[in-house]
Every structure is written in C-alpha cells, then in structure tokens.
C-alpha cells in the first residue's frame, strides 16, 4: 500500500463544530483544543495517579488495528477503552485476511460493518491513519497510535500531561529532547504540542546524522553537544534509538552513542536542579539512559505510562462524541 505523507490533517480531525472527531496529529490544533484533552484526562486521574472508571463508551466497540508491533501502546489503549466500558477487539493484522491478499479498504469496510465505532491505528507508513479517516472509513473515529515518522499524538499528549502535572506553566519551561530525532514521530508530536502550549524554549540534541532538516523551521534550537543542550533545561526527554527505521547505519555503535548522548547522572547535573526526566519507552538502558537516571528520583517514566491511560481515555471519548455530533445522533 502506498500512502502519501499527511503533514497537516488538522481540519480533517475536527467536525463542523470544531470538536475532535479523529485524533491524527497534534499539529494544527489550538491551545484550547489541546488543553481540553489535558483537562479531560485530568478528570480521570486521582491525586495519587489512580484512574477513575467511567462508562462513557458503554455499548461502543473499539478495534485496535496494529500493523506494527507495540506492547505498551496497544495495552494502554485496550485498558483505556475497557475502563470506559467499551468492547475491545485487538486485531492481529499479520494473521488477518489482509495478509491473504485482501485489500486494506475491504478489510476496514468489513470491520466497520461489524459495528466498529473507533479504530485505533498503528501503521509503519506515514499518513496511513489520515488516509483511512479521509478515504476509507470516515464515519468511524480514527485514533493515530503512531504512523511512520509522522506523528504519535497520544504519546505527545501524555508527555504534555506529565509535564503539566509535575512542572506547571509551560511558558516558564525549557524542554530538551535528546537522541534519534530524525526517525521520531514522538518528537514531532511533542514539538508541535509544546509550541502550541507556549513552552519558553524547545531544544533538540542529536548527532548531525540524526537531526532532520526541517526542525529549525519549527523554531527549535538545535544542539550537537549534549552538555550545551542540557544547560539549565527544566525537562529532559530521552528518545529511543530506532535502529529499525534507519535505512543505513547512522551511528558508529551503541557504546559511542551512550558516551556522547547517553543521559547519565553526571550529564544530568548540567540541567536545572530537579529537572524532570522522561522517556517514551521502551528504554534501552546503557544506550539512551543510565539505570541510575531511569530509576532515579527525577524520573517520571512510569508516571508517563500511568498518565497515558487517562489521556487515551480522554481522546477516545472526545473523538466518539465528535463523531456522534457530526452524524447528528449524539
């Protein structure tokens, strides 16, 4: 399947009333729209991080369509949907009739005919969820669970919720994102969200081979040396090195990457005192981050996983409500 890159599907994901009907990207959404997602996610969270069940999707069917492996994202979407009272189906694409020659359109139309209300889509091709929402099943709410190098909007928003809960006002924060920026859909979603929410400064820190060309256009500061980029940062986000997306070797070795860009206790001291440490996972210990940092008092990595359930509950509910309003059967 050929899918063109979908850089700005922001209009598609809103209904005529300006409410979310799909969630494909953080790009193009307003500060009010992103804040609505964060506030709604907060409503599911107790002060201790406990999640409140609410049957807002009772009687609805959520289908997780993962064309690409992911344990954490798939599991948190399934947990989120079940906490909302939805029926959940995880479709193993590798074992489905899609692998027997059935077209993507035919497979999705058949799933839609089984009264699917929401498709959570993870796909290796950038733009696939946008293609599905615009061309195949527009009456089903589509949630992007990661598409190629393009976007991972729920991960971006759970990171925003983590930052907001633990650091407060975005306008006072300097956020540094380290590592494989070039192949990271998470970094793109984070940068768009941070800009919209008014972060004081956004930095990316990466070797030249892992710096995409278009990031300076986004108004971020680019650093090649880790120590310089970390200087005074309030939030530090380490990214996974995505060897599976590299078309040719871009790093000499994991050991060299760790020596230059691995987040160690010594290097973290260059950041602001008590700087928050985050990682979207899965973690490669001793490559992107030292265990002492990942498990240390400044780390919010497990909090991110917890908040991810609340953010996905919020997005699933808002998209379903937006679809119902569009159809006129809310």
Residue 244, pLDDT score: 46
Whose tokens are 């256009």? That residue is 217
Calpha distance 120→98 (Å, rounded): 17
Q: What is the CATH number of the domain that holds 133?
A: 3.40.50.1370
**Confidence label for 209 from pLDDT (cuts 50, 70 and 90):** confident
Calpha distance 2→85 (Å, rounded): 35
Domain of residue 284 covers 154-305
My answer on whether 282 and 312 are in the same domain is: no
My answer on whether 231 and 295 are in the same domain is: yes
Neighbours of 255 (CB within 10 A): 12
**Confidence label for 196 from pLDDT (cuts 50, 70 and 90):** very high
- Spatial CA neighbour of 178 closest among 197, 155, 203, 153: 203
Residues in the chain: 330
Calpha distance 301→295 (Å, rounded): 8
Calpha distance 73→88 (Å, rounded): 14
Examine residue 230 and state whether it is found in any structural domain, yes or no: yes
Examine residue 212 and state whether it is found in any structural domain, yes or no: yes
Examine residue 20 and state whether it is found in any structural domain, yes or no: no
Residue 250, pLDDT score: 58
CA 72 to chain centre: 12
pLDDT tens-digit readout, 75-110: 999 999 999 999 999 987 756 655 555 688 898 999
* Domain total of the chain: 2
Q: Which two three-digit tokens encode residue 324?
A: 């119902």
Residue 254, pLDDT score: 83
Q: For the chain, what percent of residues have pLDDT higher than 70?
A: 90
Examine residue 299 and state whether it is found in any structural domain, yes or no: yes
- Spatial CA neighbour of 271 closest among 143, 175, 181, 180: 175
pLDDT tens-digit readout, 114-165: 999 999 999 999 999 999 999 999 999 999 999 998 999 999 999 999 999 9
Annotated binding site: 72-73, 100, 122, 152, 155, 185, 240, 281-282
Calpha distance 179→237 (Å, rounded): 9
- Write the CB contacts of 100 (distance below 8 Å, at least 6 apart in sequence): none
CA distances from 176 to 26, 195, 277 (A): 19, 13, 10
Q: Alpha helix locations (H) across the chain?
A: 31-43, 71-83, 104-113, 128-131, 153-167, 185-196, 226-230, 254-261, 265-268, 291-294, 301-327
Examine residue 5 and state whether it is found in any structural domain, yes or no: no
What is the chain's percent helix, strand, coil content, to nearest 5? 45, 15, 40
Q: Are 4 and 24 in contact (CB under 8 A)?
A: no
Annotated binding site for carbamoyl phosphate: 72-73, 122, 152, 155, 281-282
pLDDT tens-digit readout, 241-277: 865 443 445 566 888 889 999 999 999 999 999 999 9
Examine residue 65 and state whether it is found in any structural domain, yes or no: yes
Q: What DSSP character marks residue 144?
A: E
Annotated binding site for L-aspartate: 100, 185, 240
**Is the pLDDT assigned to residue 40 strictly greater than 80?**
yes
Residue 98, pLDDT score: 57
My answer on whether 138 and 231 are in the same domain is: no
My answer on whether 251 and 320 are in the same domain is: no
My answer on whether 250 and 312 are in the same domain is: no
19-33, 231-245, 314-328: range with highest mean pLDDT: 19-33
My answer on whether 234 and 140 are in the same domain is: no
- Spatial CA neighbour of 80 closest among 60, 96, 66: 60
My answer on whether 128 and 164 are in the same domain is: no
Calpha distance 6→328 (Å, rounded): 28
Averaged pLDDT for residues 209-214: 84
Q: Which of 54-63, 70-79, 102-111, 309-318 has the lowest mean pLDDT?
A: 102-111
Q: Which of 158-162, 208-212, 235-239, 289-293 has the lowest mean pLDDT?
A: 208-212
Average pLDDT over the chain reads 90
- Please state whether the peptide bond connecting residue 106 to the residue before it is cis, i.e. omega within 30 degrees of 0: no
Calpha distance 80→311 (Å, rounded): 9
Examine residue 1 and state whether it is found in any structural domain, yes or no: no
**Is the pLDDT assigned to residue 214 strictly greater than 90?**
no
Calpha distance 262→277 (Å, rounded): 13
My answer on whether 124 and 199 are in the same domain is: no
Calpha distance 124→150 (Å, rounded): 10
pTM listed for this prediction: 0.92
**Is the pLDDT assigned to residue 31 strictly greater than 70?**
yes
Residue 101, pLDDT score: 56
């Amino acid at each position: 399947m050929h899918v063109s890159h979908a850089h700005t599907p922001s209009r598609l994901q809103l209904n005529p009333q300006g409410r979310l009907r799909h969630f494909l990207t953080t790009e193009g959404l307003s500060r009010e729209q992103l804040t609505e997602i964060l506030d709604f996610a907060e409503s599911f969270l107790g002060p201790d991080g406990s999640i409140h069940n609410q049957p807002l999707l009772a009687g609805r069917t959520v289908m997780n369509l993962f064309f690409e492996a992911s344990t954490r994202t798939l599991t948190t979407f399934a947990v989120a949907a079940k906490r909302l009272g939805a029926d959940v189906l995880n479709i193993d694409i590798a074992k489905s009739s899609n692998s027997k020659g059935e077209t993507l359109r035919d497979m999705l139309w058949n799933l839609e005919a089984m009264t699917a209300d929401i498709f959570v889509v993870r796909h290796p091709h950038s733009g696939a969820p946008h293609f599905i929402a615009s061309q195949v099943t527009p009456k089903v709410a589509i949630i992007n669970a990661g598409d190629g190098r393009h976007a991972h909007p729920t991960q971006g928003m759970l990171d925003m919720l983590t930052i907001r809960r633990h650091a407060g006002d975005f306008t006072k924060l300097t956020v540094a994102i380290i590592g494989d920026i070039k192949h990271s859909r998470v970094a793109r979603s984070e940068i768009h969200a941070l800009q919209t929410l008014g972060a004081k400064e956004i930095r990316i820190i990466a070797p030249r081979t892992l710096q995409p060309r278009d990031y300076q256009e986004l108004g971020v500061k680019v650093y090649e040396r880790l120590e310089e980029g970390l200087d005074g940062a309030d939030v530090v986000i380490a990214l996974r090195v995505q060897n599976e997306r590299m078309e040719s070797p871009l790093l000499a070795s994991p050991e060299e990457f760790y020596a230059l860009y691995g987040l160690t206790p010594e290097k973290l001291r260059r950041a602001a005192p008590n700087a928050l440490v985050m990682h979207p996972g899965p973690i490669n210990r001793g490559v992107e981050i030292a265990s002492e940092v990942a498990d240390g008092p400044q780390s919010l990595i497990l909090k991110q996983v917890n908040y991810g359930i609340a953010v996905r509950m919020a997005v699933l509910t808002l998209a379903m409500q937006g679809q119902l309003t569009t159809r006129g059967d809310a």
